[in-house]
Amino acid sequence: MINKVELQAPARDLETLKIALEAGADAVYIGGESFGMKTSSKDFTKEDIIEGVNFAHERGKKVYVTINLLPHNQDFIGLEKYLLELEEANVDALIISEPGVLETINKVTPNMKLYLGTLANVNNYATANFWYDFGIRRIAVSRELSLKEIQGIKANIPFDMEVEAFVHGGMCMSYSGRKLLTSYISTRDINLYSEDKKYNLVEEKRPGEYCPVYEDENGTFFFSSRDLCMIEFIPELIKSGLSSFSIEGRKKDADYIENVVKAYRKVIDSFYEDPENYKFDESIMNEIRKGNKREYTTGFYLDETKIYDEEYFKSIKK
């Protein structure tokens, strides 16, 4: 029997939350006003979270809240109050990244369902089992893993531990996905750091050729010229044992999220309707590309990486 996979989408505000769920997402992940990695998304207020959760539950869908900051001592101030507010709002799960937050949650809201986010860097089954012993029942595996490695993790963890993976959106090249440049500069000389400053990498034998360095909620990006796109390989992803497909893009607008969610929903449902005779329709790639003109790649998932470049998009039918 083929497992039923969850399609999870980001939402940067209440409008995007509603659009993502109406477009076919089974769940959305959001950030509250506190205790998430800094982003340019519009954080949800307490009232927004309550309204969003009610909207989702009326439709049989779910809302997850990220508490994925990597905290210093002062960051725990107010966390307990915030957790009680989220419990009162009846959110479906919290997405966390480190043990100090986990310990606080277990003390304050012990019945809250907990998922481990990608910032925790789960690359193997031993790490997954470690977190299972502390009550985690879903892990988001690192983007650097192949499908074979994910299958190896799934085969060596308890049956009731779910595995989530990002299938679409921005890729972090470096391990950890943490905001290396921002944290380094801002903690040493606040006058050196400015949102307006731009940084580039230069290869020593190619002077004058600049590769931009930029950051978002998933960390520092060095060579992110292509986005991840695994929509063509939905059957392989499902058969690998994944429980949840996650779309990256909390900074993306509602139109982008709607297009991507609808496309993945269509392909997932089409596969489940007739797994034996399923065939990928390349024309749906045109829908995926709306609002995002960057090239796509299958990342680390496959033995041979596939690139969806300009020539590919010219070759497929409209």
In total, how many domains does the chain have? 2
Q: In this model, does residue 178 exceed pLDDT 60?
A: no
Are both 207 and 106 inside the same structural domain? no
Query: What CA dihedral angle connects 97, 294, 22 and 39, to 10 degrees?
Result: 40
Ramachandran angles phi, psi of 117, nearest 5°? -80, 175
- Asked whether residue 294 is domain-assigned, the answer is no
- Asked whether residue 295 is domain-assigned, the answer is no
Do residues 10 and 29 lie in contact, with contact meaning Cβ atoms separated by under 8 Å?
Answer: yes
What is residue 3's predicted lDDT score, i.e. its pLDDT? 83
Are both 162 and 252 inside the same structural domain? yes
Do residues 154 and 232 lie in contact, with contact meaning Cβ atoms separated by under 8 Å?
Answer: no
Are both 68 and 123 inside the same structural domain? yes
CATH number of the CATH domain containing 269 = 3.20.20.70
Q: What does the alpha-carbon distance between residue 50 and residue 48 come to, in Å, rounded to a whole number?
A: 5
Q: In this model, does residue 231 exceed pLDDT 70?
A: yes
- Asked whether residue 66 is domain-assigned, the answer is yes
Are both 55 and 38 inside the same structural domain? yes
Are both 87 and 133 inside the same structural domain? yes
What is residue 192's predicted lDDT score, i.e. its pLDDT? 46
Are both 31 and 110 inside the same structural domain? yes
Q: Worst-scoring range by mean pLDDT, 190-199, 240-249, 282-291?
A: 190-199
Q: Considering only CA atoms, which of 50, 51, 43 is closest in space to residue 67?
A: 43
- Asked whether residue 305 is domain-assigned, the answer is no
Q: Is the dihedral of CA 28, 291, 294, 303 positive or negative?
A: positive
Average pLDDT, the chain: 86
Are both 118 and 210 inside the same structural domain? no
Are both 102 and 208 inside the same structural domain? no
Tell me which residue range forms the domain holding 160: 6-167+228-288
Are both 105 and 202 inside the same structural domain? no
Q: What does the alpha-carbon distance between residue 199 and residue 220 come to, in Å, rounded to a whole number?
A: 11
Burial class (CB in 10 A: 0-12, 13-18, 19+), 209: exposed
Are both 38 and 150 inside the same structural domain? yes
- Asked whether residue 141 is domain-assigned, the answer is yes
Hey, what are 142's tokens?
A: 């690192």
**pTM (2 d.p.):** 0.84
- Asked whether residue 61 is domain-assigned, the answer is yes
CB within 8 Å of 133: residues ≥ 6 apart: none
What is residue 234's predicted lDDT score, i.e. its pLDDT? 98
User: pLDDT grade, residue 183 (50/70/90)?
Assistant: low
What is residue 172's predicted lDDT score, i.e. its pLDDT? 57
Hey, what are 214's tokens?
A: 């930029």
Q: In this model, does residue 266 exceed pLDDT 90?
A: yes
Are both 68 and 203 inside the same structural domain? no
Are both 91 and 211 inside the same structural domain? no
Hey, what are 93's tokens?
A: 């799960």
- Asked whether residue 117 is domain-assigned, the answer is yes
- Asked whether residue 159 is domain-assigned, the answer is yes
User: pLDDT grade, residue 181 (50/70/90)?
Assistant: low
Which run of H or of E encompasses 64? strand 62-67
Q: In this model, does residue 7 exceed pLDDT 80?
A: yes
Q: In this model, does residue 187 exceed pLDDT 90?
A: no
